[in-house]
Structure 1
Amino acid sequence: METTRKHLRTIRMPVRWGDMDAYGHVNNTLYFRYFEQTRVEWLEEMGSIVRPDEAVGPVIINASCTFLAPVNYPATVIVKMYGGEPGRTSMMTWYELFIDGDDRLHAEGAAKTVWMDMKTGKSSPLPDNIRALFD
C-alpha cells in the first residue's frame, strides 16, 4: 500500500569543513543531523517546541537513511521533508537530500515521530494543528 506524502518543508544548509570524515566526504551521522534540523524547524513552525520542560513533545522512535551519492565540502545541502497520514499518536516523515546545483538524489531517509507525555513516558495524541495538515 502506497502512503500519500505531503511536502512539509525544504531547507538549505551549508556543508561545513568539519562535517567531512577521513574519507573526504560528509560523515554518515551528519545526514541524520540534516534531517533532524529540517524536522525541528518544521516542528517549531507548527508550535511544537522541542524542549525538555514541555509536558508533551515529539520523540523519534525509528530513523533510517540510505546513502546514494557522497556529499563533499564545499556544498549546500537541500533537504526536502514530507509527512504521511498521521496515526493517533504518531506520524511518519521522509527526507530527500540534494546538493545545490546537482539534480541527483544523494540520500533519502525516514523517521517515525511519536508525541509523548514526558512525565509518564506514554504516547499522547498528535496535536490538532498537525493532524489538520492531512484533513
Structure 2
Amino acid sequence: MSHLRKLVHSARMPIRWGDMDAMGHVNNTVYFRYMEQTRIEWLYACAQRLGIGAYEGQGPVIVNASCTFHVPLTYPGEAEVRMFVGPPGKSSVESYYEIWMDGKKYADGSAKLVWIDMKTTKSAPLPEALRELLAPAGA
C-alpha cells in the first residue's frame, strides 16, 4: 500500500476465544469486524469534532471492502488496527487498514466509503468540513 494516505485512527482489539474458528485461528470474517470497529470509532470521533447531527439525512456507506491475510491471528492476544485515508474524492474516500500484533503485520485491508443522501440513496458531495479533516497532511 504505497499510495498517498494519512493515519487517522488506531484501535486495540482483544482477540476473544469466540473469534476463533475450527482451524484454530481468528476467522476471516472477524478481521472485517476489527476494521469496521476501528472505522466506526473514527467516524464517531469525526462526528463529535464536526458536531453530531451536522449532516442529518446524509452519511457514509461502504461500497467495497477487502482484506489480504499475511499471518493467522490466534488467541490469546490483542491486535492493533491502524486506519488510514487517501485523498478525498468528490463523494468518496478510500480507507486502508493494517492489523498488527506484537510488532508484526498480520493483514492489510481497505474499504471505499461513499457519502450518500439517505433519502435518495444517491452519492452526495463530501461535506467541506469533513473534506478538510481528510486532507493529506501539509495540503
Q: TM-score, with normalisation over the residues of structure 1? A: 0.90
Alpha-carbon distance in structure 1 between the residues aligned to 2:109 and 2:34: 10
Alpha-carbon distance in structure 1 between the residues aligned to 2:70 and 2:127: 34
Tell me the secondary structure at the aligned position of residue 46 of structure 1: helix
Cα deviation code 1:86-129 (max 9, x no counterpart):
00000000000011xx2221000000000111110100111222
User: Shift of the alpha carbon at 1:4?
Assistant: 1.0
Residue pairs, 1:96-115, within 5 angstroms: 96-99=98-101, 102-115=102-115
Q: Residue 26 of structure 1 corresponds to which residue in structure 2?
A: 26
What runs of 5+ residues in structure 1 fail to find an aligned partner?
none
Alpha-carbon distance in structure 1 between the residues aligned to 2:90 and 2:43: 17
| Structure 1 outlier segments of 4+, above 4 Å | none
- Aligned AA for 1:28? N
Alpha-carbon distance in structure 2 between the residues aligned to 1:70 and 1:116: 35
Residue pairs, 1:110-121, within 5 angstroms: 110-121=110-121
Percent of counterpart pairs with the same letter? 54
Do the aligned partners of 1:91 and 1:113 also contact (CA within 8 Å) in 2?
yes
Q: Residue 10 of structure 1 corresponds to which residue in structure 2?
A: 10
Q: Residue 62 of structure 1 corresponds to which residue in structure 2?
A: 64
Q: Answer 1 or 2: which has greater helix percent.
A: 2
Count, aligned residues: 128
Q: CA RMSD in A?
A: 1.5
User: Shift of the alpha carbon at 1:3?
Assistant: 2.8
Alpha-carbon distance in structure 2 between the residues aligned to 1:68 and 1:42: 25
Alpha-carbon distance in structure 2 between the residues aligned to 1:31 and 1:17: 14
What runs of 5+ residues in structure 2 fail to find an aligned partner?
none
